Every structure is written in structure tokens, then in C-alpha cells.
Amino acid sequence: MDIDTASPPLLERILDDLASQGWSVQPLALPAGLTAELAAECRRRHAAGRLARASVGRGSGQLIDEAIRGDHIQWLGRGETPATDRYLDLLDELRVALNRELFLGLEDYECHFALYPPGSFYRRHLDRFRDDDRRTVTTVFYLNDDWQAQHGGALRIELPDGEERDVLPAAGTLVVFMSGDFPHEVLPASRERLSLTGWYRRRGSGPL
């Protein structure tokens, strides 16, 4: 799918889902070639030691605690590779559509590669800090070829009615949800698990 086809069908499905239930799961959302390029880029960065162990908390309270989360991450910036720029362009199209149709006032987007070694996990949490309400919409895009249920590693989302939805991290699946509304966790997997995780942010009352 090229940028000009990121498009009415996909965008409309995401927008309709967010408006009606606050979350959306879209399999095969982006072209297989781009997904493969992004997976290869994540692995290259990890092999080069560029992905660091992720911390919990923020500011001076940040710490590394593998009893809470065990992923390794690196934040994306513009101009790094054609594949990452193309991904950021596509996600900016979604930002524009969210603002146009849902009036969310999203100003920017932050995103990182995340690699979970086998057996690692991320305990249940919300994607919004108590002292900073800018994160508004979460996105997760998965990069894992031939992922099977027996590999584990699902994203488990707690829905408002108390039910849980498990999403396998299969290559090409895009998950979008309202950041402050859905507690979620990453379950342990028997194989390496790759994703691009990001947040659309609006102007908020938290410190810059």
C-alpha cells in the first residue's frame, strides 16, 4: 500500500472503530515489503547495540526494572532511513485524519522500535502519565513474520466491560487505541518480538 492508498478504506475503518469503541485492530495494514524493511532495520539496530533497555517512569524517576518491562527500544527521528520516513509519513496521514474527523487536536507523534527478547514482557499499564496528559492515541505496528498463537507474546487489552482482547503480534497488524482508556500488557513470548510503538500527543497541562 502506497501513501496515497493509506486511504479511505483503512483510515475510515480506524476512525469508525475509535469513534464507536475507542480501539481498532487492522491486520495487514501496510505493505509487506515495508513491514519487512522495518523489521530488518530493527534487527540491524539491535545487532549494532543501538536499542537500549527500556525504563519505567519519567524524568528523574526513570529506572530499569525487568520485573515490569523487558523490551529494548530506540526512538525514531526523521531522515534516518527511507523505510522509517515512509512509516512516519503514513502515521502522519492518520494524525491528520484523526484531527479532521474526531477533533482530537493532535500536535505531534513520537515512536520507537521495541524488541522483546524471548521470555520478556510488559506488565499491565496505561499509556498516560499521571502528571502529563498529552499522550492521546497509542499505535502499535507489528513486524513479526509467521507468528503463531503458540509463540505467545499477545498484546492483551482490557476493555471497558471487563473483557480482555488478545492481539497476536503478527507482521502487518496495526493496533490503535485511546491512550488513557485501555490498560494493557505484553505477554511473554517464546521468540523475539518486534514492533513500532508510538503515541499521538496533544497540547496538555503537563510539563514540557
Backbone angles phi, psi at 78, to 5 degrees: -70, 150
Q: Residue 26 above 50 pLDDT?
A: yes
Instruction: Please enumerate in sequence order all residues whose Cβ is within 8 A of that of 198, keeping only pairs 6 or more positions apart, or say none.
Output: 91, 109, 110, 111, 112, 138, 139, 140
Q: Residue 207 above 70 pLDDT?
A: no
Report field, pTM of the whole predicted structure over 0.85: yes
Any domain includes 164: yes
Any domain includes 51: yes
CATH code (residue 173): 2.60.120.620
pLDDT the model gives residue 205: 55
Length of the chain as a residue count = 208
Chain centroid to CA 133: how far? 18
Distance, in Å, from the CA atom of 22 to the CA atom of 137, rounded to the nearest integer, reads 9
Any domain includes 124: yes
Any domain includes 88: yes
Q: Residue 154 above 50 pLDDT?
A: yes
Backbone angles phi, psi at 158, to 5 degrees: -90, 120
Any domain includes 179: yes
Q: Degrees (nearest 5) of the Cα angle 108, 112, 115? A: 160
pLDDT the model gives residue 187: 97
Q: Residue 118 above 90 pLDDT?
A: yes
Any domain includes 35: yes
Task: Using a pLDDT cut of 70, give the percent of the chain over it.
Answer: 87
Any domain includes 208: no
Boundaries of domain holding 99:
3-202
Higher-confidence residue: 205 or 144? Answer: 144
Residue carrying the nine cell digits 493509506: 6
Element (H, E) at 101: helix 82-102
pLDDT the model gives residue 6: 46
Any domain includes 100: yes
Report the number of distinct structural domains present in the chain.
1
